[in-house]
Structure 1
Amino acid sequence: MGLLGMFFMKSCGEFWGRTWNIQDVFTLAVILALHSLCALAPFHFNWPAFWVAVTLYVVTGLGLTLCYHRSLTHRGLRLPKWLEYLFAYCGVLSLQGSPIEWVSNHRYHHQFADTEKDPHSPIQSLWHGSIGWIFDTHRRRCEHLGGLKNVEELKKQPFYRFLFRTNFLHSFALGGLLYAVGGFPFLVWAVGVRTILLFHATLIINSVGHMWGKKPWNTGDMSTNNWWMSIITLGEGWHNNHHAFEYSARHGLEWWQIDITWYVIRFLQAIGLATDVKVPTEIQKQRKASNGRIMATQK
């Protein structure tokens, strides 16, 4: 059996070989509906719909990368509460979960990176790391690791508890607003295409970002750097950099490593809205550097 056949068989086993609950089925239905909208994109194109989709891709993407990831999960920077909540709300509109659930998953990912306890490592299968884990509520909410006990500071805040309870409703409301403003093309492009592209761009970090690419740092896991992933994920593709320095608000550590999220953070820092911005020191870099990187640095 070829590699593709093995991948197909294992994916089928993970997909059908377990018990599905109502939330798993609902998640699958939403993902299928969004992909169906994407299939209609060539027949409902117009430039206003396209540019609204691009704008929302960046806005909701920054909600994930700047707020969910670098601020809430790893505390790489501080934002005023009003701005933190605004970015967090933009993240909710990506349909990738509430801050409480997303941050909990990602903290477990770093705690157990590329082990059997990792919520979404490709060591189980490429399918699982890419998307399969999304349809398993038990794993997605890390109930096998203790649930949401690693995000107590978020659970104490009423705003984040509200987003946790009403997660999907905000995207449905946005879809209704877009349809009212721009009709079906806005729904297809600004909801379907935008959401699915950002969805797969984020999830590909879990698979490709732990399988293929460069590893300039000794991280003890499979994380890699991929320049093209950084383009589509606003800087998240420097994944080996990130695993080496989880606390860093900057992922593109070299001047040539494009990191759009970092550029936004630097702007916010310049105008006084981002504080306590963390980046690794040269000593910290030397401790994590691979032998090849040390030799290159010394030349």
Structure 2
Amino acid sequence: MSMITEPPVTTGPSRSTAEQSTAGVRGQQRSGAGEVVRAYVSLTKPRIVELLLVTTIPTMMLAADGLPSLWLMAVVLVGGALAAGGASALNCYIDRDIDQLMRRTKRRPLPTHVVAPRSALIFGLVLAGVSVALMAAFTNWLATILTIASIAYYDLVYTLWLKRTTAQNTFWGGICGAAPVLIGWAAVTGSLSPAAWALFALVFFWQLPHFYALAIKYKVDYARAGIPMLPVVASVRRVNLEIVAYTWLTVFASLVAWPLGLSPIYGVTAVVAGAVFLVEAHRLARRSARGEAIKPMRLFHWANTYLTILFAVIALDALI
């Protein structure tokens, strides 16, 4: 007599367990998609886009002597943001070899392999192409040419050549950093007046102490990557001298802009904010020359505040 036993019944996971498992997979997919989206956004270097917004809107308001067309403002801001974002994405593609060597940049999407180099290249080209198309369709030839020139200069001249070959890379790179001022003015007026060039000079010279402070902070990073930033290849005295000199030129440019359509409200603000900027630049130079502990990021952050204050007052001035 044999005893036959039935195989045990397998009921499988409970409904709640299965739902939890499915939810977990979906959560991972959403997290992965979110990471990729954030990576593409970071390729555009949003901080650079912020600089564009801070300087372009007030410049357009001054050029229009009030509020320009909201449609024109939207086109220039979107087109400018896409141009800056596209140029930055192409910069990340070109610099992927050195970004992985620097502590400040090694977490960018290409060094961490979140975005493939070819994808970054296509992304940058598409953004740049759309920006130029927008400017060509809705602004004028001068603003469009300036947009194309800015993208080309930043990626082909600065990133591919100047950044890796000369200690004056920050100086020459400042041209594309200050270009949004000219683009905004040209979009409103179709020309470039002395006031536009004065604001261009203000932003151009401002970038030197601003980025030299950052380069001091990340001097070891730049040296490791073989980038000849001034603090890497020049003496402390030389760096201090240039920081102070370009801060003075920044303040001078801000005062040159005063009689070119701006009121005493702007003038007083430029004098006071400029005095603080100069104090910070001289303090950093003095401490550095003495071999004392320095905080270069203090000057870096104040430079941001200085520029924001000045262009906010330019916008206010244009309104009143």
Structure whose alpha-carbon radius of gyration is higher: 2
| Greater relative CO, 1 or 2 (CA 8 Å, sep 6+) | 1
TM-score (norm 2): 0.29
